[in-house]
Amino acid sequence: MIFANPSGAPELACDQCGCRWFDRLSGTSTCYECGAAVTPGNIAEIEAALAAFAAGKAAAGDPGHAAPAQR
């Protein structure tokens, strides 16, 4: 499940319980609350949401997300 945090950025939450905390150190990325696994589909969904968010920020002229200036 994807939701927007207070700054508007997308965050991944568990599809089963809604928890936002995942064990990424084990290499399996499981939910701390219920133990559900993060699926490849979940990863693809958050990557797409993050790319869309970054593109929107860049289009809006957000200097924190713009391409670096050429020297």
pLDDT tens sequence across 2-12: 999 998 999 99
C-alpha span between 52 and 46 (Å, rounded): 10
Residues of the chain by 3-state class (helix, strand, coil), percent to 5: 30, 15, 55
Q: Which of 12, 63, 56 is nearest to 38 (CA)?
A: 12
Cβ distance 47 to 66 under 8 Å?
Answer: no
pLDDT tens sequence across 11-63: 999 999 999 888 767 767 889 899 999 999 998 999 999 999 999 988 888 65
